[in-house]
Chains A and B, each alone.
Chain A
Amino acid sequence: MDFKKIIIVGGGPAGLAAAIEANRCGIAPKDILILERDRELGGILNQCIHAGFGLHMFGEELTGPEYAGRFIDEVRARGIGYLCDAMVLSISAEREVAFVSPTEGFCRVKAGAIVLAMGCRERTRGALNIAGSRPAGIYSAGTAQRYVNINGYLPGKRVVILGSGDIGLIMARRMTLEGAKVLRVCELMPYSGGLPRNIAQCLDDFDIPLYLSHTVTGIHGKERLEGVTVAKVDDDRRPIPGTEEYIECDTLLLSVGLLPENELTKEAGIVLDRITGGAQVDQSMQTSMPGVFACGNVLHVHDLVDFVTKEAYRAGASAARFTAEGAAPAGKMLPTAGKSGVRYVMPQKLDANGTLDTDTALFFRVDNIYRDKYVVLSVDGVEVIRTKKRFLEPGQMETVKLNDTAIAAIRAGSAVTVSLE
């Protein structure tokens, strides 16, 4: 059986960065293999032609293809191995990767370390369970984005968007610029899940109304979508009878959330986090399976690709270290948890014997909109970090960087919590 020191599953921003960092850490380019299922590297960034990527990494606003292009260029310049149109079918505990590709056929390759970077998928109509007929014209926002930006076709002319996630907002502007009429965006929650600036530049700029606390309750039309029923929802997110309104449209775009795509992870027996939908990892991005690391949207859904890149650098470095040093002796693992307003914390555990420095950060999301709150990090109930935040929104990922006090407390402690006060 063939052997590669590091196999990276996915050639999007996470996989590319992990590969580059593994190479920087001393793994020869030919010992790294990126397996990408699409026909080119870059992942979903290839269809994200809008600007807004790279402010943290490069200090400038790049489009998705530009951001991906910089990393693709570097992967090529370094001579790192990659294979497109290659789909990984399974991963075993022995780190055996089975994949297929039109050029290589069916292959099994043993890996010294594996980096999972498969990204995420969009939540579907099925998951929302909206009643009605099943005509053409209902697409997830990302699917519509592919049709418009990659294929060059408009999926429809009169559009209602359900969900105010960033892709939905971006597509509202994109379809408007291409000549479609976006009638409204409905959001089930009383706040938007998208970045505030996207509401400003994608909706407000084009006078597209955003209806908060509204949802789609009915779908009409036999062949092509003819209209949808929207209704206001109450505090429990149930439609309020009498508020229904019929809107004539030929397209419904769904932007109702992203789900880490962890089929491979799950089948491999790796422990998943119920809230993030991704693997549970420690600060080195190692999953419950030794030598298997995860980063990017497959781990938890990010709102900025810059953070994906940083996370992937960490995963790539850890994978490189693992291939050189082997599994570290099992040390003390501290679970992390979110409390009072904090929905989840990633990493889910901290290895007290592992690398803990002031670059180590905990990422978290809040469960509602908060103003003027303190973010408090405690070890065994004792507060070690307190920072003030003016705004906290579920749509924005937050971070707490460790300081020396926190690191000392973690090395001696047994559990870490992040909470709002």
Chain B
Amino acid sequence: MSTVIRKTCIVCPLGCHLEAELADDGQILLVRGNTCRRGESYMRDELTDPRRTLTTTVRLVGAENDAYLPVKTDGTIPKGRLFEAMKVLSGITVTAPVVRGDVICEDFLGEGVNLVAGKTVEASSCG
């Protein structure tokens, strides 16, 4: 006896309809429905350690117009830590100027990924 788990792949906009066959002990017997290898590894991660990239904004000061800076993790963090991450980020303020790709937090949450700036924002001309 095996069970079939169905998931939509989120790796790319194709959204492949993935299926995994699990043995009674939970072991993954087979992944199908994927059209690339990343799809298979996504399904395997999803069943053992689901992870997501976090995109959000942090407070920004010293810019002409922008009051918030878009940021993202440059890799995935455990899905279960998303809300914890949001809480940490609500206490962070960045000062302009900032360049797209600048690291805002190194080794974010100790997960081995960085939080990076998503946008280049110049400092306000009037200081």
- Give B70 Cβ to nearest chain A Cβ, in Å: 4
Check if B32 is an interface residue, CB within 8 A of chain A. no
Check: B44 CB closer than 8 A to any chain A CB: no
Contact A196 B8 (CB under 8 A): yes
Number of interface residues of A (CB under 8 A): 34
Find A303's partner among B7, B9, B13, B79 (CB 8 Å cutoff).
B13
In the assembled complex, the Cα of A197 lies from the Cα of B70 at a distance in Å of 22
Q: Which of A389-420 contact B (CB under 8 A)?
A: 391, 396
Flag A354-368 by CB within 8 Å of B: 1 or 0 each: 000000000000000
Annotate A299-321 by CB proximity to B: 1 below 8 A, 0 otherwise: 00001100000000000000000
Closest to B53 in A: A51
In Å, the complex CA distance between A178 and B83 comes to 9
On chain B, the residues within 8 Å of A152 by CB distance are 57, 59, 67-68
Checking B8, B56, B83, B86 against A49 with a beta-carbon cut-off of 8 angstroms, the contacting residue is: B56
Per-residue B-contact encoding for A144-163, CB less than 8 Å = 1, 0 else: 00000111100000000000
Smallest Cβ distance from A200 to chain B, in angstroms? 4
List residues of chain A with CB within 8 A of the CB of B4.
Answer: none
Scoring A residues 194 to 218 as 1 if CB is less than 8 Å from chain B, else 0, what string do you get?
Answer: 0111011100110000000000000
Q: Is the CB of B10 within 8 A of A63?
A: no
Do A69 and B100 have beta carbons less than 8 Å apart? yes
Query: Which B residues are in CB contact (< 8 Å) with A50?
Result: 55
Query: A195 is contacted by which of B15, B56, B68 (Cβ under 8 Å)?
Result: B15
Contacts of A151 in B (CB 8 A): 67-68
Contact check, A51 vs B55: say whether CB atoms are below 8 A apart: yes
Q: In whole angstroms, how far apart are the Cα atoms of A5 and B104 in the complex?
A: 42
A77 within 8 A of B: no
A304–B66 CA distance with the chains assembled, in angstroms: 26
Q: How far is the CA of A69 from the CA of B59 in the complex (A)?
A: 19
Q: Does A327 contact B (CB under 8 A)?
A: no
The answer to the question of B41 belonging to the interface, with a C-beta cut-off of 8 Å to chain A, is: no
Residues of A close to B57: CB separation below 8 A: 49, 149, 152
Known: A63-B55, A63-B118, A197-B13. Is A51-B72 also a contact (CB below 8 A)? Answer: yes
Q: How large is the interface on B (under 10, 10 to 19, 20 to 34, 35 or more residues)?
A: 20 to 34
| Contact assessment for A69 and B120 in the assembled complex, using a CB-CB cutoff below 8 Å | yes
Tell me the complex Cα distance, A178–B82, Å.
11
Assess whether B126 is interfacial by the CB under 8 Å rule: no
| B70 with A63: CB separation less than 8 A | yes
Give, as a whole number of angstroms, the nearest-CB distance from B56 to chain A. Answer: 6
CB distance from B106 to the nearest CB of A (A): 19
A-B contact count (CB 8 A): 84
B5-23, CB < 8 A from A: 7-15, 17
Q: Contact between A39 and B65 (Cβ–Cβ < 8 Å)?
A: yes
Interface status of A66 (Cβ within 8 A of chain B): yes
User: Known: A152-B57, A177-B82, A205-B79. Is A49-B13 also a contact (CB below 8 A)?
Assistant: no
> Given the complex, which residues of B lie within 8 Å of A396, measured CB to CB?
13
Q: Which of A63, A149, A204 contacts B68 (CB 8 A)?
A: A149
Whole-angstrom distance between the Cβ of A62 and the nearest chain B Cβ: 8
Contacts of B9 in A (CB 8 A): 197, 200
Q: Restricting to A165-221, which residues have a CB under 8 Å from any CB of B?
A: 177-179, 195-197, 199-201, 204-205
A200–B55 Cα distance when bound, in Å, is: 16
Whether B67 contacts A177 by the Cβ 8 Å rule is no
- Please, how many angstroms separate the alpha-carbon atoms of A371 and B64 in the complex? 51
Query: Please, what's the 1-or-0 string for A304-347, where 1 marks a CB less than 8 Å from any CB in chain B?
Result: 10000000000000000000000000000000000000000000
Q: Mark contacts of B25-69 with chain A using CB atoms, 8 A cut-off: 1 yes-contact digit, 0 otherwise.
A: 000000000000000000000000000111111010000011110
Q: Which residues of A contact B72 (CB under 8 A)?
A: 49, 51, 63, 66
Is A55 in contact with B118, judged by CB distance below 8 angstroms? no
Q: What are 30 inter-chain pairs, A to B, with CB distance below 8 A?
A: A39-B65, A46-B119, A49-B55, A49-B70, A50-B55, A51-B55, A51-B72, A55-B13, A61-B12, A63-B118, A64-B70, A65-B100, A65-B118, A65-B119, A66-B72, A69-B118, A69-B119, A73-B120, A149-B70, A152-B57, A177-B86, A178-B86, A196-B17, A197-B8, A197-B9, A199-B8, A200-B9, A201-B52, A205-B79, A391-B17
Not counting A49-B55, A49-B57, a sample of 8 additional A-B residue pairs whose C-beta atoms are within 8 angstroms of each other reads A51-B53, A52-B13, A149-B70, A150-B67, A177-B86, A178-B86, A201-B52, A205-B79
Q: Which 10 A-B pairs have the closest CB atoms?
A: A196-B15, A200-B8, A49-B70, A197-B10, A65-B119, A197-B15, A201-B10, A196-B8, A65-B118, A152-B68
